[in-house]
Amino acid sequence: MRMIVNTAAYLFVPLADAEALTATLHERARALELRGTILIAEEGINLFLAGSSEGIESFYSQLKVDARFADMRIKYSHSQMQPFARLKAKFKSEIISFRREDGQPLDYPRAPSVAPATVQRWLRQGHDDDGKRVVMLDTRNWQEFAHGTFEGALTLPIAKFTDLPAALEPHRESLADATVVSFCTGGIRCEKAALWMQNDGMHNVLQLEGGILGYFEEVGGEGYDGRCFVFDERVALDAQLQPLVDRQDSAQA
């Protein structure tokens, strides 16, 4: 059975031609029979696409010919079913809505990041390399972390990403002596969140490079409890990037 290749990718990069690029990439993905979502803004690109291995390879190979996207990281997983009902492409004001001027990646240097292997080691030893306690800060909403999160992570009762600043406020004092590692599904939200926190005076904050999916890809599920919610019909992925729901599995049940 041929497997569907599922991809997630984003990059904050200036796109003066964002609106025209939206139409171009929509047509390219349609011709390759891909499904999913293409989100483009003047601040960058955010992609969730699935299809045949040949179609996926062709799409990203063509995209990376453009020097602006040459270094974009693509995260892969596989499923028996096509997890998206259709293909959508949207031109937006932000590829992930945060609505904070002090959290816009094109306006400031990128907040410091930490590699999955380093986080794994810190969680295993119970502190960072300077002996400080480590707090994993989940920047996702309650629907997502209900499926799983890092063990002992600080989760916030938010329904949308724009709620994060207010929800974090009561915790700021208690986080002052810790190394705070912000994380999300693939890195896009924690990149904005970490930048905003840095600009708002929290200089002890890092972002988990590649998010939860990057962590699963590189080191597995050590220190993580449960699955990672994804915004498609697979619902959530385990640490081996296997879907909770796969249509073929359902048919056999």
Work out the end-to-end distance of the chain between its first and last CA atoms, rounded to an integer number of angstroms.
18
Q: Give me the residues paired with residue 229 across strands.
A: 236
Query: What are φ and ψ of residue 136, in 5° steps?
Result: -85, 120
**Beta strands 35-41; 4-12: pairing state:** unpaired
Query: What are φ and ψ of residue 88, in 5° steps?
Result: -130, 140
Task: Name every residue whose Cβ is closer than 8 Å to that of residue 145 and which is 6 or more positions away in sequence.
Answer: 138, 153, 155, 229
Catalytic residue among 156, 164, 184, 205: 184
Active site residue 228: no
DSSP labels for 107-168? TSPPPPEE-HHHHHHHHHHTS-TTS--EEEEE-S-HHHHTTEEETT-B----SSGGGHHHHH
Distance between CA atoms of residues 120 and 218, nearest Å:
10
Distance between CA atoms of residues 215 and 185, nearest Å:
10
Catalytic residues: 184
